[in-house]
Amino acid sequence: MSTYLVTGGCGFIGSYVVKELLKLSDTEKIYQIDKMGIGSSRENLITDDPRVQNYFFDLANTNHWKLNMSNSMQFIDRDVDYVIHLAAESHVDRSIEGPLVFIDSNVRGTANVLEFVKEMKSRMVHVSTDEVYGHLTEDDSPFLETHPLRPRSPYAASKASSDLVVQSYIHTYGINASITRCCNNYGPRQHEEKLIPTVIKSIIEGKNIPVYGKGDNIREWIHAEDHAKAIIEIAHTVEDVKEIYNIEGSRSVRNIDLVNEIISTLIEKYPQYSREGEYIEFVKDRLGHDFRYDLDTIHPKLQSVVDQKKFNLEKTVEYYVKGYQA
C-alpha cells in the first residue's frame, strides 16, 4: 500500500493526479496541500473519499511550513512513499505584472518541499514546464532533456530555478527525484485565465476573443488526464530512473488555428452563440512572447504518452458552456 503527498492538488493538473491516484488499488492515503490561490478551485477538492486528507496553507511561507510540517509531522501520521509537487504560480501574464510572487512561490515553495522529501526519504516528482527551455523558431528541432535552460519570462525563470534546486538536492543529498517538463495542457476545470477557457468564455459572453499579435505562436497540447497518468508512471518507475522527463503532446498548432477550431466546435454544437461579424480581436503582443514550444525525448516513450488521447476539444467546450449556462 502506498501513501502520497500531492501539492497543488486543487489546481487543474493536480486534481487529475489525485483522481488518477484514487483509481489505483494500492493507494492507501493521499495528503493534499493547497493554498487555494489563483488556479485552485473548490470544484477540484475531493472530500468524499476517506483516503484523501486536505490541508490548506502556503508552502512558500516558511512560518506556515514550520507550523504545519514540523519534525513532529503534526498531520503526517505515516511514512510518505511518494511526493508529487505541482503547487506553483503558473500564468505568464501575471508573472510579467508581478514577478516576485512567482519567484517566492515557485522557488521557496519547492525548497520547503525538498526539505520534507529529504527527511522522509520519499520518491519525488517535481512537475515543471517546457517553458524553461526558452522557445524555438519554426525550423528548429524539438527540445530534448539535454537542451540548456533559457527561460524568457519570470514564470519560466522561476520554474527553471526550482528545477535547479531539485537537481542540487539530487546530487548533494541523494534524494530520489525526477523532474517532468510538459507541454500545454487542456481539458475541463482549467482556470479561466488560460487560453482555451478564455476563448470559450468570450464567445459565450458575446465578446471579442483577444489574440496576441497575429496568433502565429505555436503550442503543443496534451490532455491533463494524460499528463497526470505520465506523472504517476514516472513516480512509480523503480529501475533506470531518469532525472528529467519531457512529456510531449498529441498535437502542435498555431494559436490562431486553435482559436478558430474552438469557435467552429462551439458554434456547431451551440448555434445560439453564433453572431454576425468578427469573433477575434488581435491585441498588442505579450512582452517576450515565446514563439514555439515542441518536445521530444532522449528516453524510451512513456506508455502513458504513447497511449494519450487524440487532441479533441468537444468535451472541454461542453464543460465550459454548461458551466457558464448554470
Q: What is the CATH number of the domain that holds 29?
A: 3.40.50.720
Among candidate residues 16, 31, 133, 155, the one labeled active-site is: 155
Q: Does residue 28 lie within any of the structural domains?
A: yes
The 10s digit of each residue's pLDDT in 219-258 is: 999 999 999 999 999 999 989 999 999 999 999 999 999 9
Pairing of strands 184-186, 123-129: unpaired
Is 48 one of the annotated active-site residues of the chain?
A: no
Is 82 one of the annotated active-site residues of the chain?
A: no
Q: Which three cell numbers stand for residue 287?
A: 512582452
**In what order do the strands lie in the sheet containing 176-182?**
52-55, 27-33, 2-7, 82-85, 123-129, 176-182, 244-247
Question: In the 3-class helix/strand/coil scheme, how is 109-144 assigned residue by residue?
Answer: HHHHHHHHHHHHCCEEEEEEEHHHHCCECCCCCCEC
Q: Does residue 287 lie within any of the structural domains?
A: no
How much of the chain is in helix, strand and coil states, percent to nearest 5?
40, 20, 40
Q: Does residue 106 lie within any of the structural domains?
A: yes
Q: Identify whether the C-beta of residue 180 lies closer than 8 Å to the C-beta of residue 124.
A: no
pLDDT of residue 303: 97
The 10s digit of each residue's pLDDT in 279-307 is: 999 999 988 899 999 999 999 999 999 99
Q: Does residue 143 lie within any of the structural domains?
A: yes
What span, in angstroms and rounded, lies between the C-alpha atoms of 179 and 39? 21
Q: Does residue 216 lie within any of the structural domains?
A: no
Which domain range does residue 11 map to? 2-186+222-249+294-308
Into how many domains does the chain fold?
1
Q: Does residue 323 lie within any of the structural domains?
A: no
Q: Does residue 192 lie within any of the structural domains?
A: no
Is 131 one of the annotated active-site residues of the chain?
A: yes
Q: Does residue 286 lie within any of the structural domains?
A: no
Q: Identify whether the C-beta of residue 145 lies closer than 8 Å to the C-beta of residue 298.
A: yes
Least confident of 67-81, 94-108, 284-298: 67-81
- pTM for the full model? 0.94
Among candidate residues 34, 81, 89, 131, the one labeled active-site is: 131
